[in-house]
Structure formats: C-alpha cells, structure tokens
Amino acid sequence: MRLLAVLIAAGLLAAGSAAAQSQMELNQQAGAELRKSDERLNTVYKALLAKVSEAGKTKLQTAQLSWLRFRDQECEFETMGTVGGSIHSMMVAGCLTRLTDQRVKDLEAQLNCKEGDLSCGGQ
C-alpha cells in the first residue's frame, strides 16, 4: 500500500502537478482540487434537488447523506496504509476527489435525463 502511495505521488510530480515541490505543497494542491470537486458536486446536487418531485427530494437527500458517509469511510479504508505519513492528507484528498467526481457524473446523468427514461429517479 505504501509503495502504491509513493508511486502515485511520483506520478503526480512527473505529470507536472502545478510545479509543486514539497509534500506540503502537494497536500495543499490536493486540497484545492477537492474543494473544486465539492463545489461542482454542490452545484449539481442543488440543481437536481430543484428539479425532482417532493418525494424525489426526500429520497435524494437520504441518498446523498448515505453517499457522503460511504465516500468518507471508503477513503478511510483506501488510505489506511499512509496513516501517520506526510503523504496521508494528499492520498485522502485524492480519494475523496475521485469519488466526488464520480458522484458529480452520476448526478449529472440524473439531472440531464430525457423525459420517459425509466432510469431517471425522482422525476
């Protein structure tokens, strides 16, 4: 697990991750990316919440709270191997960002559903 963390960090550096040099800068950069993802998530979530029926609102709110708990617990699990290391916060932020970006895509799919599409919930 630690080898994976080192490889990911090396990949970020090699990819020119905004010229960050220190682990602290990498951690800050990962935190900034997470904040951007969270902003996108909040925007899409609010738009979908405004679009769905009253019953859909309740279901969406319940699902979102469950998803947030899942995301946080999943990232705790995935980053267990870096606990105590200087890379840990970067790894947690990377995990949270990845899962948040996927949730944004999922909610956007619901937001942009065509009328009559039975895979759309809460319409």
d(CA 69, CA 61): 13
What's the confidence (pLDDT) of residue 68?
Answer: 98
- Residue-wise pLDDT tens for the chain (123 aa)? 555 554 455 555 455 455 658 999 999 999 999 999 999 999 999 999 999 999 999 999 999 999 999 999 999 999 999 999 999 999 999 999 999 999 999 999 999 988 777 777 666
Quick check: is 113 in a domain?
Answer: no
Total domains in the chain come to 1
Quick check: is 23 in a domain?
Answer: no
Q: At what angle do helices 2-14 and 88-111 cross, to 10 degrees?
A: 70
- What's the CATH code of the domain at 53? 1.20.1270.180
Quick check: is 115 in a domain?
Answer: no
Quick check: is 119 in a domain?
Answer: no
